[in-house]
A and B are shown apart, each in its own frame.
Chain A
Amino acid sequence: MYLKHISLTNFRNFTRLDLDFPRRVIVLVGSNAQGKTSLLEAVYYMAAFTSFQTHSDRQLVNFLAAREARKQVVVGRLVIDYQRAKSDHRLEARLIMEPSGVNGMRLRKEVLVDEVKRPLHDSIGKFNAVIFVPQMSQILEGSPEERRRYLNLTISQTNPAYVRTLSEYNQALSQRNALLKALNDRRSGASASNGGNAQQLGVWDEALARLGAKIILWRIQAVQEIERLAARIHHELTRGKEVLRLSYQPAYDPLPKPQGQLGLEMDTPVDRSGLELEDIREGFIESLTRLRKEEIARGMTTIGPHRDELRFLANSVDLGHYGSRGQIRTALLAVKMAEVHWMKEHTGEWPLILLDEVMAELDLERRADLIKYLGESEQVLFTTTDLNLFPAEFAAKAVIWDLKDGNVSRRKAKG
């Protein structure tokens, strides 16, 4: 799959941008604060319909335009034309800010697939992209939430049902938490009746486990597959010195723990591949029932996919805690390249690869490795402040764009 054209209106610092994309490697050169990363963000937005940078869509709308939103309707618009399986498609996202109430505003999101309005959960995964930005080391070093978000964004691109199941799971979770809190309040005598009894908890357990089991199973499969691909790439990147492992640690672990053992050592590989959906669901309900007293006391759901963890280990050392800058970069690069191949395996199409300032972070050998791995794919978009970071013969073959103040110009080939 490859991108043919992008058109942005009121997105970040672009008031208006129209750009044709060639089907090859593109290097976007520009100084700081010219809009390089924003362009990558825009392309990635069309794959995930959420930004990798911010959780708030509001910040995506052009700052100057958004100031007017208290008075009149302001629309941030992203349109892409792309080719997938030899046929042309179009995706459009509208971020509509409109005045609401006294001096307030609200944001509405619309998505159009081939010019027809579609619900968000049906639109994710139409266009696939893998993005790599330096601050993504947060996936390894940051909070568990970053890693769950990473898993969610990745899996949703290849599995449309995942998006819907996840949102239903979160709905069931909110309802169950509200009930646990009500039961807790009643126990402590805070209020007499606010709509909860313990028997009711059983049906919310069922809903939570039914949806949660699916998510756990999909995560097990995805982590296993990505680990297999990433480990191979990582092995090459480290010249055989390190072994990368992805350790998925579900908050409700469907794997029975051996008798008398409290937990497994993290560096022991765990094989969860034999688990069936029904076993996970039943086990999940049993655990919820067992924990019921504690959960009422805490007034919240303590196990389930919303508290899952994923750790990255090199030679059994947890990179999130003990990894050096270089180790983390290499591991992340391996995982991202694995993601590219994983998407290809699942969708039959190469995703568009977006790389923000990666060359500056890599030594000469790794740069050559990266370029080697990108060799097979269809379309790659790099950003850089300095073209000299790229090997000369590679730069000669690529299309070079200069980006200045939100305007893109194509650099003429020398000679």
Chain B
Amino acid sequence: MLLPEPIQKLINAFERLPGIGPKSASRLAFFLLRAEASFSDDLAEALTDLKNKVSFCEECFNITMAGRKLCEVCESPERDDDVICIVEEALDVLALERTGGYFGKYHVLHGVLSPIEGIGPEDIKIGPLVERVKKGEIKEIIMATNPSMEGDTTALYIQQLLEPYNLRITRLARGLPVGGDLEYADQNTLLRALSGRQEMD
């Protein structure tokens, strides 16, 4: 039996989502078929709003409400203008904001360098970062890319690019998680924690 076209279309759409296979896709589609009309309406509205009402900050490329030029962080007069924290994704901004311990601004790259996937410097937001630095207000750059090979390589690339501007360039510390057990840390992490040890104060 062939499925009616609207259902098949929805299943196909779901299948394109990350982490969703053919089985989950049909389960979701049939759930929606049975659910009340208001549920699908809400979902549909949420999906259209996602594209219509969300946009990216012109300064740091963080996500923000549509119609606004700048995101909350960039607009806030209380944030330091001279420190920029570089992250891979907007979600990383959220994680850092939750700490409540960072008062500078951000720059979201929207990806990392990965020649295999065909992602080069022009495909992520490195150019606009250099433009920001050129304005001359920035004194420190904090690299907060993920500690993966691609993340590290991207950080190194940016560092080399920004060398002529005479900035202080720092990187997030690597090491032991707070509340973690030393004996369960893997060798690599422990080794990095050891080489990055600090004076006790």
In the bound complex, residues from chain A placing their C-beta under 8 Å from that of B122 are 193, 195, 197
Beta-carbon contact of B113 and A197 below 8 Å: no
Nearest residue (CB) in A for B188 is A164
A196 touches B188 (CB 8 A): no
Q: A203-228: which have CB < 8 Å to B? A: 203-204, 206-207
Interface digits, B144-160 against A, CB 8 Å rule (1 contact, 0 not)? 00000110111011001
Which residues of the other chain, A, contact B119 by a CB distance below 8 angstroms? 195
> Whole-angstrom distance between the alpha carbons of A207 and B119 in the complex?
17
Bound together, the chains give a CA A178 to CA B121 distance in angstroms of 14
| Complex CA–CA separation, A179 to B113 (angstroms) | 10
A53 adjacent to chain B (CB < 8 Å): no
In the bound complex, how far is the Cα of B5 from the Cα of A20, in angstroms?
62
Q: In the assembled complex, which residues on chain A have CB atoms less than 8 Å from the CB atom of B117?
A: 195
**Taking the nearest CB of chain B, how far is it from the CB of A101, in angstroms?**
9
B116 within 8 A of A: yes
Contact with B along A342-376 (1 / 0, CB 8 A): 00000000000000000000000000000000000
Q: A399 near B: Cβ within 8 Å? A: no
Contacts of B72 in A (CB 8 A): none
Question: Which residues in B have their C-beta under 8 angstroms from that of A171?
Answer: 149
Asked if B196 is at the interface of the complex by the 8 Å CB criterion, the answer is no
Nearest Cβ distance between residue A209 and chain B, in whole angstroms? 12
In the complex the two chains form, is A172's CB within 8 Å of B160's CB? no
Main SS at interface, chain B:
helix
Q: Chain A interface: which size bin?
A: 20 to 34
- What sequence of 0s and 1s flags, for each residue 77-110 of chain B, a beta carbon within 8 Å of any chain A beta carbon? 0000000000000000000000000000000000
Question: Given that A175-B149, A202-B160, A203-B157 are known contacts, is A195 also in contact with B115, CB under 8 Å in the complex?
Answer: yes
B156–A196 CB distance below 8 A: no
Task: Check B187 against A160 for contact (C-beta < 8 Å).
Answer: yes
Residues of the A chain whose Cβ atoms lie less than 8 Å from the Cβ of B188:
164
Which residue of chain B has the shortest Cβ distance to A174 in the bound complex?
B116
Are B116 and A203 closer than 8 Å at their CB atoms? no
* Chain B residues whose CB sits within 8 angstroms of the CB of A199 once the complex forms: 121, 157, 160-161
- Closest chain-B Cβ to A184's Cβ sits at a distance in Å of 12
Total interface residues in chain B, CB < 8 Å: 23
Closest to A206 in B: B156
Known: A176-B115, A182-B115. A168 touches B187 (CB 8 A): no
Q: Does A316 belong to the interface (CB within 8 Å)?
A: no
Q: Which of B118, B160, B186 lies in contact with A203, CB distance below 8 A? A: B160
Does B120 lie within 8 Å of A196, measured CB to CB?
yes
* B49 at interface, CB cutoff 8 A: no
Complex Cα–Cα for A203 and B154 (A): 8
Q: Which residues of B contact A206 (CB under 8 A)?
A: 153, 156
Contact between B150 and A175 (Cβ–Cβ < 8 Å)? yes
Q: How far is the CB of B121 from chain A (nearest CB, A)?
A: 6
Q: What is the bound-complex CA distance between A207 and B161, given in angstroms? A: 17
Give complex CA distance A179, B153 in Å: 13
For A193, the chain B residues whose CB sits under 8 A away are 120, 122
For the complex, give the distance between the alpha carbons of A161 and B153 in Å.
Answer: 21
Interface of A is mostly: helix
| A200 in contact with B118 (CB, 8 Å) | no
Q: Which residues of A contact B8 (CB under 8 A)?
A: none
* Min CB gap A193→B, angstroms: 7
Give CA–CA (A196, B122) in the complex, Å.
Answer: 8
In the assembled complex, the Cα of A206 lies from the Cα of B157 at a distance in Å of 10
Q: How far is the CA of A199 from the CA of B156 in the complex (A)?
A: 12
Shortest CB-to-CB span from B162 to chain A, Å, is 13
Interface assignment of A289: CB less than 8 Å from any CB of chain B = no
Q: Contacting A200 at CB < 8 Å: which of B116, B152, B157, B186? A: B157
Q: Smallest Cβ distance from A212 to chain B, in angstroms?
A: 13
Query: A203-B157, A203-B160, A204-B153 in contact; A122/B186 too (CB < 8 A)?
Result: yes
A175 touches B120 (CB 8 A): no
Q: Nearest-CB distance from A169 to chain B (Å)?
A: 10
Binary flags per residue of A97-127, CB closer than 8 Å to B gives 1, else 0: 0000000000000000000000000100000
Instruction: Tell whether B52 is near chain A: CB-to-CB under 8 Å.
Output: no
Given A202-B160, A203-B113, A203-B160, the answer on whether A195 and B153 have CB atoms closer than 8 Å is: no
Residues of A with C-beta under 8 A to B187: 122, 160-161
Contact assessment for A168 and B120 in the assembled complex, using a CB-CB cutoff below 8 Å: no
A168 neighbours in B (Cβ, 8 Å): 149
- Residues from chain A with a CB closer than 8 A to the CB of B153 are 172, 175, 203-204, 206-207
In whole angstroms, what is the CA distance A162 to B171 when docked? 26
Question: Given the complex of chains A and B, what is the CA–CA distance between A207 and B148 in angstroms?
Answer: 11
- Which residues of chain B have C-beta atoms less than 8 A from A194's C-beta? 118, 120
A296 to B131 alpha-carbon distance, docked (Å): 30
Binding site for A on B (CB under 8 A): 113-123, 149-150, 152-154, 156-157, 160-161, 186-188
Give 5 nearest A-B pairs by CB, closest first. Answer: A195-B120, A179-B115, A178-B115, A195-B118, A203-B157
Supply 12 further A-B pairs (C-beta < 8 A) apart from A122-B186, A179-B120, A199-B157.
Answer: A160-B187, A172-B149, A175-B115, A175-B149, A178-B116, A193-B120, A193-B122, A194-B118, A195-B114, A195-B122, A195-B123, A207-B156
Q: List 10 A-B contacts (CB under 8 A).
A: A161-B187, A171-B149, A175-B115, A175-B150, A193-B122, A194-B120, A195-B119, A200-B121, A203-B154, A207-B156
